[in-house]
Structure 1
Amino acid sequence: MTTKETNADLIVNVDQPVEDITANLNTAQQILAGGQMLFVAFGALVLMPLITGLDANVALFTAGLGTLLFHLVTKGQVPIFLASSFAFVAPIAYGIQTWGIPSTMSGLFVAGVVYMLMAYAVKLKGVNFIHRLLPPVVVGPVIMVIGLGLAPMAVNMAIGKAGDGSMIFIEQDTALIISLSALLTTLLVSTMAKGVFKLVPIFSGVMVGYTLSFLFGVIDFSPIANAPWLSMPNFVAPEWNWHAILFMIPVAIAPAVEHVGDILAISNVTGKDFLKKPGLHRTLFGDGLATSASSLLGGPPNTTYSEVTGAVMLTRNFNPKIMMWAAVIAICLAFVGKFGAILQTIPVAVMGGIMILLFGTIASVGLNTLIRHQVDLSDARNLCIVSVTLIFGIGGMAFGFGAFSLQGVSLCGLVAIALNLLLPKVKSL
């Protein structure tokens, strides 16, 4: 069955229905698949608060809460998991250093409100406004940057370093054995496994990598021994601070472009146009509500996770209920001190091996967007948009001042939109 071409087809491929192999899973199987999705997101979910000085257990709790709020707003239609947004790393670090965590949380709360106001604007203007603003020549390279922009983090972790390469945790040769074994296991399970085992390629890769890490003696178990079984996350209430609020408001605008890119990516993966149903205004509002709710508890702002989109494409887990189970598991585990400690002992090499595949998968979605919609790169205008977008996003171009900077996906998304609006269209003779 095919769908009649609409304006949405300029961006989202809905010509071919995509099989959901998880449609008939029982509850236990859904919980298992949800746990796998949480494992996929966990590395980045925890890394962001650790970098900025926030509590990782709070981030775990607010990721689950934010995901449930998102699914409430979107009526449980989009297979998305929300967690810590890396777009806010520099602003949060600066805000905490300057005003402290409570004041910074007030700025993040208003940032979520800005998301919700943008959602209302999308509702008034309609989806076609977004289609005109974000044609395939803009969307394709932005989605590619979402995946490729994170490639250095994946590679650094795969060779035993911190995501930014600043520290060495595992000797490189040992790290490569661990990370490539985890990657190879994931590849083999995802392509060759049958039945329910096909649903857990990432979990399988993590288990193999963790086992090898144990055999190589690179796992530090002391955090597990020192952690209590049950513990309350270190929730922090926001304190109103106009300086922090005015600082965070501009930051909220750019990550919305990343949100659109992620929704387009998951739409292409599933073959459903989520820009129209449940609607971009609902997904944006859900993202904003999740961010504001997170800030009320001292957690980082939430965003739709590209890693999970890659896992959805890899495992074909298209059932949104799986993401809800992942959220419930995240909330429960936030109160289990020893479980959080166990997750923190997973070596960076294990997650790096998995992320190589996941981030590459996202980049492939963006490339496929250009190919499927036959974007002509021999056309000078299209070539300029794609080229500048890719280099700005992957190369790390940044504009800003002090501790605040606009870079990565946020910057290249805005640049792609600006070039598409400003560069003249030359009519062919």
Structure 2
Amino acid sequence: MEEKHANGAIYDLYERPPFPALFGLSLQHLFSMFGATVLVPLLVGLNPGVAIFSSGVGTLLHMLITRGKIPAYMGSSFAFIIPMGSLMKAFGYPAVGQGVLSVGVVYLIVALIVAKAGSAWIDRIFPASVVGPIVMVIGLSLASTAAQNATINSATSKYDIKIFIVALLTLAVTILYNMCFKGFMGMIPVLLGIITGYIFAVLFGLVDFSRVMTAPWFALPNFNSIFESSRFYPSAVLSMAPLALVTISEHLGHIMVLNKITGHNFFKDPGLSHTLAGDGTASIAASLVGGPSVTSYGENIGVMQMSRVYSVWVIGGAAVLAVLLSFIGKLSALIETVPGAVIGGVGFMLYGVIAAAGLQVIVDSKVDYSKKRNLMVAAPILVIGIGNFHLQLSNGLDFSGVALATVIGILLNLILPKVAASEK
């Protein structure tokens, strides 16, 4: 099937693929987000099944609030791992839940401010000279994660040549599928890459099926509630709520990427206030069932860029599958066996595709880097973001390199003169 839209889409925002294609495309998104969404609760001490459930429900709520106009998938946020882990060890889930709830409330407050103040300011603080490098950073900042997954055995924390080989093979077949297949098969190269990579992983002895054999067919997620304790935990709010400002800046970056690859302006329709409110509501819903805070996922944006399928029906289908999957014990356990080697191999492609979208912003807008101002804006953004020059405070607050790069890029664009003194 060939592209049939000016933006290169095979299926644009509101087009619904036939059911067999819809299922396969949605499954591709499910696989892409699964590793990261499950990893967060495993690191923190929460139930992975609840996190999967929260991601699906959160995505559906986000779609409802944005009136079904944004193809964004909500997954577990890595920005809150440190405070959530500390709160879980010290107080248990009610404290974590209150923190997650406070994150959602901050989003809603910011959304209300944006709704009152409007979004005309976005074009001023996010010109192409800022947007391009930030989008590149969002993809390239994940490069080290992909490289670690593709080389390190998580069980031993040591370099493993078998993992390296499987990752390279997964990358190779994903590129092959993307370049050589057309029609429906050409729309699911990531899913095909993961499946083929998984087969390689089995042949190399990297997959343990014991958990699948012992898992029940039906398993109710281990839901928790913030109402299990009547105690209020101010430390939870103080340690997590400020970090919402970090993920909000990342949220802006993801919306910019979606604007670029889909050719739609989501800052104007449905508006930034709706996208922020959708994210906030998704986190509030997660807090009520025992899940971690959620945020939009770059992995799924990369899938859209590669497949050229931007349909909100596909994202909604992935959300429904996630909710159903959270109750199917054996299927959930099977997907959890997908090794890091496979995720890393696919990640080499997905994260690079996001970075390339940022490069395309720069090229299409003809940003002139012979001008010192543009260089002085782009250089710090790239190095700070990719190098993860982060601000970590003693109270557990950790502002990621992506967030700092975004803030610094905005400030430089606002305060630097239009022309350097040496160029006058």
TM norm structure 1: 0.91
**Distance in structure 2 (CA, Å) of the matches to 1:18 and 1:280:** 25
**Distance in structure 2 (CA, Å) of the matches to 1:68 and 1:263:** 17
> Which residue in 2 is equivalent to 1:8?
none
> Which residue in 1 is equivalent to 2:40?
48
Instruction: Give 1:19 shift.
Output: 2.6
In structure 2, runs of 5+ residues without a counterpart are none
Aligned 1:230-241 pairs, distance under 5 A = 230-238=218-226, 239=229, 240-241=232-233
Aligned partner letter, 2:311: N
C-alpha contact (below 8 Å) 2:104/2:284 kept by paired residues: yes
> Which residue in 2 is equivalent to 1:5?
none
1:92 aligns with 2:84: yes
The answer to which of 123-132 and 309-318 deviates more is 123-132
Output one character per residue of 1:281-306: Cα deviation in whole Å (capped at 9) or x when no partner.
11111011101111111111111110
- Structure 2 counterpart of 1:426, from 400, 414, 419: 419
C-alpha contact (below 8 Å) 1:87/1:410 kept by paired residues: no
Q: Percent identity?
A: 37
**Distance in structure 2 (CA, Å) of the matches to 1:87 and 1:378:** 36
Aligned partner letter, 1:109: L
1:308 aligns with 2:300: yes
> Which residue in 1 is equivalent to 2:236?
244
Aligned 1:10-409 pairs, distance under 5 A = 16-21=6-11, 23=15, 25-162=17-154, 167-168=157-158, 172-238=160-226, 239=229, 240-402=232-394, 403-409=396-402
Aligned partner letter, 2:269: K
**Distance in structure 2 (CA, Å) of the matches to 1:418 and 1:94:** 32
SS at structure 2 position matched to 1:127:
coil
**Distance in structure 2 (CA, Å) of the matches to 1:161 and 1:118:** 41
Instruction: Give 1:28 shift.
Output: 2.6
> Which residue in 2 is equivalent to 1:413?
406
The verdict on how the C-alpha distance between 1:419 and 1:91 changes in structure 2, with shifts beyond 3 A counting, is farther
State the aligned residue count: 411
Aligned partner letter, 2:98: S
Instruction: Give 1:273 shift.
Output: 0.9
Instruction: Give 1:218 shift.
Output: 1.9
> Which residue in 2 is equivalent to 1:10?
none
Instruction: Give 1:166 shift.
Output: 8.0
Instruction: Give 1:421 shift.
Output: 2.3
TM norm structure 2: 0.92
Instruction: Give 1:24 shift.
Output: 5.7
- RMSD over equivalenced CA pairs, Å: 1.9
**Distance in structure 1 (CA, Å) of the matches to 2:18 and 2:270:** 25
Aligned partner letter, 1:283: T
**Distance in structure 1 (CA, Å) of the matches to 2:145 and 2:268:** 33
**Distance in structure 2 (CA, Å) of the matches to 1:406 and 1:19:** 35
The verdict on how the C-alpha distance between 1:408 and 1:91 changes in structure 2, with shifts beyond 3 A counting, is farther
**Distance in structure 1 (CA, Å) of the matches to 2:296 and 2:381:** 21
The verdict on how the C-alpha distance between 1:296 and 1:24 changes in structure 2, with shifts beyond 3 A counting, is closer
